[in-house]
Copies of this chain bind each other. A is one copy, B any other.
Amino acid sequence: MPNVNTIALDAMGGDQAPPMVIAGADVARKRYPNTHFLIFGDDALCGPLLRRFSRLAAVAEVVHTEDIVAADAKPSVAVRRGRKSSMWLAINSVAERRANAVVSAGNTGALMAMSKLILKTLPGISRPAIAGLIPTRRSESVFLDLGANIECGPENLIEFALMGGILARAVLGVIRPTVGLLNVGEEEFKGRNELREVANVLRSKDTLFDFHGFVEGDDLTTGTTDVVVTDGFTGNITLKTLEGVSQAYSDFLRRSLRSSLSARLGGMLARSAFRSLREKVDPRKHNGAMFVGLNGVAVKSHGSTDSLGFANAIGVAVDIIEQGVNERIISELSRIQSTETA
């Protein structure tokens, strides 16, 4: 009999929560039959919503919570005052081993702060990071940190590279992933001093990935490396830039194709071509950023996503559990540490 995974859902986080969360869980239920759900949220709202999905209701349970973390709450405040929130209690169910992972579309900063406090950081990791999969011309790449660490020292970036490499093996299935360090030029003398220091360490390390060297902003879409490492400030701005351009491009294309009768006709004839383009860049398909470096699995969904996007974020959590990503990170870190102290 296959393992049953239990996913804790923060039903109160996200622009369209809780309906989006519960409808998303129902989509995920069909995709991942051996999954149970713990739905943390206001029972008066979530109970009736869950009853609309009788098959989901058979594998899900609402855990009533009284409080909500506001989307614009300061993480430090949320951590102090949010102990009865759906977010806190959902994360806590992972720490208590009642769930294998938590998924939330709520306040990113609060989710990371609470996850660090409740789940704790993995041994050998000084700071967890947020990692996402971005679409590239080749396929997909792992990109981190997407915003957990606004200021990063060299040791953080080195840890991100290690964790990103392990993620790429587990999630992308690349045997020996290539890792690039985001910089303003490919030449070794370019960029910040600390990046040259990181590059020197990564070149010399005995790791399960190949360090490619520096990559630039356009290498993200080219897919030059399987993993792209940067600090959380640059990562967050770059990711939002990527999303913004994709969105602007699709909107402009849609408007252009309504601009005349022949454009409309052309758009209809080329519909399947456009569909493949839309699917390639559909942000919902790439929804679900992984918190890596924690002693437990936490996945962040976009706050503005819909139920299909949320189901994909649940899928990311299922993947991480089934691929044993955290276990792999732990064993690879201890292997490196034992090599270095040997």
Contacts and interface: CB of A to CB of B under 8 A. Distances in A.
A259 B238 contact: no
B244 A241 contact: no
Given A216-B237, A238-B238, A273 B256 contact: yes
Q: Is the interface of A mostly helix, strand, loop or mixed?
A: helix
A221 interface: yes
Interface residues of A, number: 61
Contacts of A236: 184, 216-217
Contacts of A150: 184, 191-192
A187 B273 CA distance: 40
B273 A257 contact: yes
B192 A217 contact: no
Interface in A147-177: 147, 150-151
Interface stretch (A4-12, A34-42, A247-255): A247-255
Contacts of A182: 237
Given A184-B147, A187-B72, A238-B241, A256 B274 contact: yes
Contact of A244 (B191, B219, B249): B219
A63 interface: no
Given A236-B217, A238-B217, A272 B263 contact: yes
6 nearest interchain CB pairs? A266-B270, A217-B240, A218-B244, A266-B269, A217-B241, A256-B273
